[in-house]
Amino acid sequence: MFYLQTLIAFVFAIVLLVGLHELGHLIVARLCGIKVIRFSIGIGKPFYTKIWRNIEWSIAPIPLGGYVKMVDTREGKVADEDLPYAFDKQHPLKRIAVVAAGPLTNLALAIILYAFSFGIGGVKETRPYIGTLDSPSIAAKAGFREGDKIISVNGKAVNTFNDAYINMVMNLEAGKVLVQVENPQGQPETRTIDAVGTPEAQAVATRQASIGISPVKLSEYIGEVVPNKAAAKAGLQKGDRIIRIDGMDTPKWEQWAKIVRENAGRNLKVVYVRNGTEHETILMPDAHELPDRSQIIGRAGIAPAIDEAWQKKVHHVYYPNLAQSMQLGWQKMVDYTNITLSFFGKLITGNASFAHISGPITIAEVAGHTIQIGWQSYVEFLALVSISLGVMNLLPIPVLDGGHLVYYTAELIRGKPLSKTIQDIGLRIGVAALLTMMILAFFNDITRLLG
């Protein structure tokens, strides 16, 4: 069922985002008096075609893009009566408008999707507090503590946990990351992350590990017991609190969880509290082999309950009106556009890992996960991918919309097109860059999948 949901969520995302991108090109082309021959979602041989309003509307099997084919003398013989409507015969400003329309449609769509999400489902903000700190981890090595409130990352103020986390991840390969925090006692301190070139940073880039912080704070009480697993067989229930194992006090969840992991298949004498009364039982952790077959660990089949008081402190939900929703949508679009451009800049300068680049497999995986969480997560996922699609297409790489914008802007300034030689060289460079990026994206996807 999950795989079917993932497939549907992915296909819908591609059809919506690519379709509206190409529709932006088409609408502006028609408004500029340019004749459009074909509109296609997907590439390859179309499996569905329909003629409507003198345009061939097609759907092709490879979901890696789409295109709008216009009358153009550079692509073949054009009938005399169609010459005034040929794309390449139009004023540079018209061609600039047509080319820019696709990416700008994606950015506008992102604003609308965010506004819809915020207006209907509310704005769910998680304040930049650290509720759980994993150890060992990059964050633990940097001196972070549970209860820290993150104020800024490399001098940039952050208001939510997500903003803080993204900024830390994006700067891992650029050098030391200086994180200003307010410690649990309310005193200002600086945590310094120095993970450039480390295996830990590479694992974060490939999404095989995290920095080691979470805004969620877990309580010491059992929140879930998996049926037919070790804890259920031992009689443990939701709401119980384990205080001692084999005579060792375990006031913290991590303490007794560590003992369980290290004692697969061994009987452990467990003392727990239920409704204020102490009880004893014997727990035999189930043996579980890690995916890389490097180790067998013990599992009890339980999960901790979330600290509700902490949740109320950290999480904030409010419902903006229409104007506020649009303003928040605009701000989200601007913020993520800046982050995306900054990331590409870091790639060029060698201050970010190419392992961060994702392809269609990762997009499909995230689509499936977000739609399982709920409609709001999926809508905001669509908005984020729409921003990525819009920004990437605006990059000044020949074959992308941004490359064409460079050519037509140069023609507007010079009063004549760039020479065919220069355009051909640019095209070869652009195709090589795009193919390299696609191969890298697929390689990273497969690496994560097999990870």
- How many alpha carbons fall within 13 Å on the CB side of residue 244? 11
Active site members: 22
- Cα angle vertex 19, ends 18, 22, to 5°? 85
Quote the tokens at residue 45: 């041989």
Q: Which amino acid is at 25?
A: H
Q: Which amino acid is at 59?
A: I
At 447 the three-state DSSP class reads helix
CA distances from 315 to 133, 311, 417 (A): 18, 6, 55
Q: Which amino acid is at 185?
A: Q
Beta strands in 246-327 (DSSP E): 248-249, 268-274, 277-283, 286-289, 296-299, 302-306, 315-318
Residue with structure tokens 């925090």? 181
Quote the tokens at residue 130: 């650290």
Quote the tokens at residue 214: 């979470």
**DSSP code per residue over 206-245:** TTSS--SEES--EEEEEEEE-TTSHHHHTT--TT-EEEEE
The Cα–Cα gap between 216 and 303 comes to 13
Contact status, residue 417 vs residue 73, Cβ threshold 8 Å: no
The Cα–Cα gap between 357 and 98 comes to 28
Q: Which residues pair with 182 in a beta bridge?
A: 149, 188
The Cα–Cα gap between 130 and 145 comes to 7
Of all helices (H) and strands (E), which one includes residue 43? Answer: strand 36-43
Beta strand pairing status for 213-214 and 132-133? antiparallel
Of all helices (H) and strands (E), which one includes residue 436? Answer: helix 420-450
